[in-house]
Chain A
């Protein structure tokens, strides 16, 4: 259903859904709904126009078209599109902030002296059978 040939599967938090807690995984995530808590992905995070994310994020690439508040780490790139609103602390290897985007907070370059070390993406928790 949500298969993406180039970079793995993309999961979806659809518009009427709210997730509160910790999301982690080896895939990509598309948020059109609300997420509050922690997001740790080995893949990319895409926050759609209706998406509202209040979280600590650790992902490969992050694309923001909705609202994101929190402390984020984009190991590859952080993109804020014209409809996007970012509020918080960002650390990324590269930035792309398009005209019209809202970016309020701190931006740091990944690997620079001003950036604190963040842990690597943890393995998915093992649940009892």
Chain B
């Protein structure tokens, strides 16, 4: 590999090692402003401002700072989220989670130490990718 490139394109080729994974990853030093949609799972450790609508599982891990509307099948939060969280199946807040806003989810678990300020509504989801993936009823 890297026969022509001067520095063996080690930086560029590093990306080649990671492929065909269906779990998206937004690292701690990444900042996204806008809309994220699709399916599959996502791990966020950086900053995200806007809308997320994912037919999968989202893990918000510290030091993530999210701002906006987040929809997924399941949400596991141990970072900072401000806005609206909507889950098709469940939301889990870890000890280091700091959530401000609204949560819509049929199931909720909160670990001792988590911070939540806002409203929770627990009923069947209305619309979006989250409801399309609901496999369990009752």
Interface residue from A7, A11, A20, A94 paired with B11 (Cβ < 8 Å): A7
Number of interface residues of B (CB under 8 A): 46
Is B88 in the interface zone, CB < 8 Å from A? no
**Given the interface contacts A11-B27, A17-B37, A20-B35, does A124 sit within 8 Å of B14 by beta carbon?**
no
Number of interface residues of A (CB under 8 A): 51
Is A9 in the interface zone, CB < 8 Å from B? yes
A-B contact pairs, 22 of them (CB 8 A): A2-B27, A10-B27, A11-B30, A14-B21, A14-B23, A16-B39, A18-B37, A23-B32, A25-B31, A29-B15, A30-B15, A30-B18, A37-B34, A44-B12, A44-B14, A48-B19, A61-B12, A96-B9, A124-B47, A127-B65, A128-B67, A129-B65
Are B28 and A9 in contact, with the CB atoms below 8 A?
yes
- State how many angstroms separate the Cβ of B17 from the closest Cβ of chain A: 8
Are A32 and B19 in contact, with the CB atoms below 8 A?
yes
Interface pairs A-B: 4 shortest CB-CB:
A21-B34, A46-B15, A25-B30, A17-B38
Give a binary string over B1-26; 1 marks a CB under 8 Å from any A CB, 0 the rest.
00011100111111111111111111
Q: Point out the residues of chain B lying under 8 angstroms from A69, CB to CB.
A: none
Q: Point out the residues of chain B lying under 8 angstroms from A127, CB to CB.
A: 47, 49, 65, 67
Interface residue from A10, A15, A77 paired with B40 (Cβ < 8 Å): A15
Is A102 in the interface zone, CB < 8 Å from B? no
Is B36 in the interface zone, CB < 8 Å from A? yes
Interface, chain B (partner A; CB < 8 A): 4-6, 9-40, 42-43, 46-47, 49-50, 54, 65, 67, 80, 82
Is A117 in the interface zone, CB < 8 Å from B? no
Is A26 in the interface zone, CB < 8 Å from B? yes
| Complex Cα gap A4–B10 (Å) | 11
Q: Point out the residues of chain B lying under 8 angstroms from A128, CB to CB.
A: 67, 82
Are B5 and A79 in contact, with the CB atoms below 8 A?
yes
Q: Point out the residues of chain B lying under 8 angstroms from A19, CB to CB.
A: 32, 34-36
Are B12 and A46 in contact, with the CB atoms below 8 A?
yes
